[in-house]
Amino acid sequence: MTVASAQRSQSAESAQSALDRVPRQLYIDGRFVDAQSGKTFGVVDPGTGRELLQVAEGDAADVDRAVLASRRAFESGPWRDMTTIERSRLIWRLGDLIEENLDTFAILESLDVGKPLQVSLTGDIPFAAKWFHHMAGLATRMEGTTVTPSLPGRWQGMSLRQPVGVVGAIVPWNTPLIITAWKLAPALACGNTVVLKPAEETPLTALFFASLLEQAGLPDGVVNVVTGFGHTAGAAIAAHGGIDKVSFTGSTEIGKEIVKAATGNLKRVSLELGGKSANIVMPDADLELAIPGAATAVFANSGQICTAGTRLFVHSSIFDEVVSGVAEQARAINVGHSLDPDVTMGPVISERHRDRVVSYLESGFEDGAEAAAGGSARPDDGYFIEPTILTNVRPTMKVVREEIFGPVVVAQRFDTLAEVIAMANDTEYGLAAGVWTTNLHSAHRCIQELRAGSVYVNTFNVADPSLPFGGIGQSGWGREHGEGALEQYSETKSAVMYLG
Ligand code: NAI
Ligand code: MG
């Protein structure tokens, strides 16, 4: 046996044992149960196009059951009566359990999404754990204020924070465990209960996570997991009268559907949607940082990151140098299967999505764009797209305006800071934007004037539990993390007392 084939059979073996640890049923009220319809659906490895396993296909009837369990767990029982320190300790423990099962989580996430194993091992999984560890502290900080109402006589006023109730969490497929943690950790810290729906493409880590909840000591019904499709299970969550808040991450199109569905009981809605983020390289930038930085900004996770730096703006004086540098980075990327240790970029999520990205590339070429690197899909069984940089684009082209969600960046030139800020802001989206510069003035101008929820300086795609995150315009409603976390998952109540 050669070293390569030994490595392959070893990774096939560990892949199988990770898959064997995944429950294939819904998790409702502390038990794994079949969907009421008895239906199941297949989960595919996007790196081969082959089915990995079948999981339960939950729909509206199962969401009903999950909401009932969540409601009961919220209104009565150990979760409600727990001290804040006990709750905090439990959430911390969830972070520990993710770390203790790092290898299994990483293999599952890589098989499911297609991302290189190394990325899951050092990125996604530890990152998800970090959210539980950070947000654990939030459980003890559900604080309010005291105020003095301006009324005749003696009064005492106060505000207090209380949980929202039952939270519906709808998660996409690009970074499944991370976004699960982004929603679950603060929701639980604030004392809510949760019905979680992972994306139909990527249910594996959510199901494996569910299998650890009992071990963590989480009371039954506090977290329920319903795997299933968006138009059935997802839509039932968005419309459900027993859900008090829905937290959604996904496409702008479905975000709008959620808002409409939520009007029935006027549940609270937070939305983290698409983007077409600008990445600006100023003439004074440190190009040793900026060139690889611009490549990673868009090619990480095969371009399937909502904040990806997909519109690259380079000062005319360095345009050719930066474009050829990013093209060189693109060509050096080794595209392939997630479990191949030499691979640095995986496939996109599905056949449907690959075709969608390819149709964007075709529209770009029809409109006159040229590829400085990449430009097409690979004729493999998996859903691979070459890392692509498009030049000769105009601001009106579809490839410049719409979110492609693949490894495709469009490069445009500019001459002045004012001009590039206007170009960067010429978008319906407003999730993130970045600038590479060594000039303090340019950095601060960009921070102030770029119309986006997050601005990066000499870096890109940085998220942290301490930093509020969310978008402007078609990129969504509300902020997660940081000071946004309490805001998302608690209600402010005021109380006023007449003292005579
Ligand atoms: P999507 O928005 O349809 O799916 C995201 C989640 O929403 C999944 O869990 C899905 O089951 C659920 N969902 C779908 N329809 C629903 C409905 N009617 N009611 C409630 N939940 C529903 O995203 P999709 O179709 O997978 O990808 C399309 C595009 O969306 C991508 O090409 C990309 O541009 C964007 N996207 C953005 C993401 C982000 O992180 N902001 C993540 C995933 C996709
Ligand atoms: Mg969809």
Strands in 370-373's sheet, in edge-to-edge order, are 370-373, 388-391, 408-414, 311-315, 278-281, 432-436, 454-457
Crossing angle of helices 84-100/102-113, nearest 10°? 70
Which ligand lies nearest the alpha carbon of 305?
Answer: 1
Q: What domains can you pick out in the chain, each with its CATH number? A: 10-273+476-494 (3.40.605.10), 278-464 (3.40.309.10)
Rounded mean pLDDT, 48-63: 98
Banded pLDDT at 10 (limits 50, 70, 90): confident
For residue 285, is pLDDT > 60?
Answer: yes
Which tokens hold the place of 380? 């493999």
- Catalytic, 272? Answer yes
User: Which pLDDT tens digit goes with each residue over 156-174?
Assistant: 999 999 999 999 999 999 9
For residue 289, is pLDDT > 80?
Answer: yes
Rounded mean pLDDT, 106-120: 98
Out of 62, 170, 229, give the residue to mutate to test ligand 1, the one with the largest number of ligand atoms within 8 Å of its CB.
Answer: 170
Rounded mean pLDDT, 416-439: 98
Whether residue 249 has its Cβ less than 6 Å from ligand 1: yes
> Which residue of the set 257, 272, 403, 480 is catalytic?
272
Q: What distance in angstroms lies between residue 255's CA and the mean position of ligand 2's atoms?
A: 10
For residue 452, is pLDDT > 60?
Answer: yes
Q: Which atom of ligand 1 is nearest to the CA of 229?
A: 11
pLDDT at residue 49, as a whole number: 97
Which ligand lies nearest the alpha carbon of 199?
Answer: 1
> Which residue of the set 306, 386, 403, 480 is catalytic?
306
For residue 9, is pLDDT > 80?
Answer: no
User: Which pLDDT tens digit goes with each residue over 129-162?
Assistant: 999 999 999 999 999 999 999 999 999 999 999 9
Rounded mean pLDDT, 440-451: 98
Residues paired with residue 480 on neighbouring β-strands, in sequence order: 469
pLDDT at residue 3, as a whole number: 59
User: Which pLDDT tens digit goes with each residue over 401-410?
Assistant: 999 999 999 9
% residues pLDDT > 90 (the chain): 96
Banded pLDDT at 193 (limits 50, 70, 90): very high
User: Which pLDDT tens digit goes with each residue over 343-359?
Assistant: 999 999 999 999 999 99
For residue 371, is pLDDT > 70?
Answer: yes
Which residue has a Cα nearest atom 40 of ligand 1?
306
For residue 1, is pLDDT > 60?
Answer: no
Q: What distance in angstroms lies between residue 21's CA and the mean position of ligand 1's atoms?
A: 27
Which residue has a Cα nearest atom 16 of ligand 1?
230
pLDDT at residue 2, as a whole number: 63
pLDDT at residue 77, as a whole number: 87
Rounded mean pLDDT, 3-30: 87
For residue 6, is pLDDT > 80?
Answer: no
% residues pLDDT > 70 (the chain): 98
Banded pLDDT at 11 (limits 50, 70, 90): confident
Can you give the chain as a three-state secondary structure string?
CCHHHHHHHHHHHHHHHHHHCCCCCEEECCEEECCCCCCEEEEEECCCCEEEEEEECCCHHHHHHHHHHHHHHHHCCHHHHCCHHHHHHHHHHHHHHHHHCHHHHHHHHHHHHCCCHHHHHHHHHHHHHHHHHHHHHHHHCCCCCEECCCCCCCEEEEEEEEECCEEEEECCCCCHHHHHHHHHHHHHHCCCEEEEECCCCCCHHHHHHHCCHHHHCCCCCCEEECCCCHHHHHHHHHHCCCCCEEEEECCHHHHHHHHHHCCCCCCEEEEECCCCCEEEECCCCCHHHHHHHHHHHHHHHHHCCCCCCCEEEEEHHHHHHHHHHHHHHHHHCCECCCCCCCCCECCCCCHHHHHHHHHHHHHHHHCCCEEEECCCECCCCCCCECCEEEECCCCCCHHHHCCCCCCEEEEEEECCHHHHHHHHCCCCCCCEEEEECCCHHHHHHHHHHCCCCEEEECCCCCCCCCCCECCCHHHEECCECHHHHHHHHEEEEEEEEECC
User: Which pLDDT tens digit goes with each residue over 469-495?
Assistant: 999 999 999 999 998 999 999 999 999
Residues paired with residue 77 on neighbouring β-strands, in sequence order: none
Q: Which residues contact 201 (CB under 8 A, 6 or more apart)?
A: 43, 44, 46, 112, 173, 349, 350
Banded pLDDT at 380 (limits 50, 70, 90): confident
pTM summary value: 0.97
